[in-house]
Amino acid sequence: MPFTISPGVVTKEIDLTTIVPEMSMTDGAIAGPFKWGPTFDVITVSNESELSSRFGKPNAATYKTWFTAASYLAYSGNLKVVRASGTDANNAAMSTALQVKNDEHYENTYDPDMGGSQVTTAGAFIAKYPGDLGNSLRVSMCGATHANTNTDGTLNSNTDVALTGTMLWTVSNSTLTGTNTLFTTELNVGDVIFVDSQYLTITTVTSATVCIAKGWTANLNAGSPAAGVRKKRSGFGEPASQMMMT
């Protein structure tokens, strides 16, 4: 309650014990459940927006911890946050579930380049953090043109691929005729194939057994079809011999 001690001079008592100074050097810390983010790892958060982006929005299971942290961040810009989780909290995976707590845990446990052991039972991809939010993630792969894929979308390693069946190329009509071949699945326009020690470039894929190709002025395997190899194609680098007529 203010009171006057002389004309124009007012004294007022203010309780400052309930105020947290808004300074980044004022440290605070909290540990508890959050919807997303690394577990058992100290993360510095400076505002509510960053709290939401790093640890997800509050839900029925996390609102107490989340709003406590948000209230502190209304007065300070330096809060150490640790997400806690149980042993049954797993990362979403393609097959067998497993738990990856944080980057350090992944490197030490699952990364063979960092001292861990590779796990193949989980599939090719796992969510970065534990939690059911990972179930909403969708993964797609897009390789360089002609690299890593067949025309039906199935994956192939980015290397030379042995073609199915045998084939015969005739220079007079530029036709590559196959026996038990899968041209529509295994070849794209622009692919370079290697048949009977010579290179051909595919210009048209007509059917599973017929293609149009450019090559040297000689018949290949006249009367004697032979196996062929599709050379690897990559937008990042390949031998000049595999870029014939491109």
Q: Which domain holds residue 112?
A: 91-136
Q: Are residues 106 and 48 in the same domain?
A: no
Q: Are residues 172 and 213 in the same domain?
A: yes
**Residue 67 counted as domain residue:** yes
For the chain, how are helix, strand and coil distributed in percent, rounded to 5?
15, 25, 55
Q: Are residues 233 and 170 in the same domain?
A: yes
**Residue 98 counted as domain residue:** yes
**Residue 150 counted as domain residue:** no
**Residue 16 counted as domain residue:** no
Q: How is residue 231 annotated by DSSP?
A: P
228 close to 198: Cβ distance less than 8 angstroms: no
In this structure, the strands spanning 3-6 and 161-162 are unpaired
Q: Are residues 191 and 213 in the same domain?
A: yes
Q: Are residues 97 and 131 in the same domain?
A: yes
Closest by alpha carbon to 72, among 25, 17, 27, 41?
27
Q: What pLDDT is recorded for position 60?
A: 94
**Residue 22 counted as domain residue:** no
**Residue 47 counted as domain residue:** yes
185 close to 150: Cβ distance less than 8 angstroms: yes
173: phi then psi, degrees, rounded to nearest 5: -120, 10
Spell out the per-residue pLDDT of the chain, length 246, in tens.
555 566 767 777 877 666 655 555 678 999 999 999 999 999 999 999 999 999 999 999 999 999 999 999 988 889 999 999 988 888 888 788 888 999 999 889 888 888 888 887 877 788 889 988 888 888 776 655 555 555 555 555 567 788 999 998 888 888 999 999 999 988 888 888 888 778 888 999 999 999 999 886 566 655 678 899 888 765 555 555 555 555
- Tell me the pTM: 0.51
**Residue 37 counted as domain residue:** yes
Q: Are residues 100 and 77 in the same domain?
A: no
**Residue 213 counted as domain residue:** yes
What DSSP letter does each residue of 63-74 carry, written as one string?
A: HHHHHHHHHHHT
Q: Are residues 167 and 236 in the same domain?
A: yes
Q: Are residues 195 and 226 in the same domain?
A: yes
Q: Are residues 176 and 209 in the same domain?
A: yes
Domain-terminating residue out of 136, 169, 200:
136
Q: Which residues make Cβ contacts (< 8 Å) with residue 152, sequence separation at least 6? A: 185
Q: Are residues 95 and 73 in the same domain?
A: no
Instruction: Using DSSP, state whether 50 is helix, strand or coil.
Output: helix
Question: At 76, which CATH number?
Answer: 3.30.1490.450
Q: What pLDDT is recorded for position 36?
A: 93
Q: What domain count does the chain have?
A: 3
Question: Residue 237 is encoded by which pair of tokens?
Answer: 């680098």
Domain-terminating residue out of 83, 103, 125:
83
Domain-terminating residue out of 40, 65, 83:
83
Q: Are residues 187 and 220 in the same domain?
A: yes
Q: Which residues make Cβ contacts (< 8 Å) with residue 14, sequence separation at least 6? A: none
Question: Residue 197 is encoded by which pair of tokens?
Answer: 């020690």
Q: Are residues 175 and 236 in the same domain?
A: yes
H or E, element range at 55: helix 48-55
What count of Cα atoms within 13 Å lies in the side-chain half-sphere of residue 71? 9
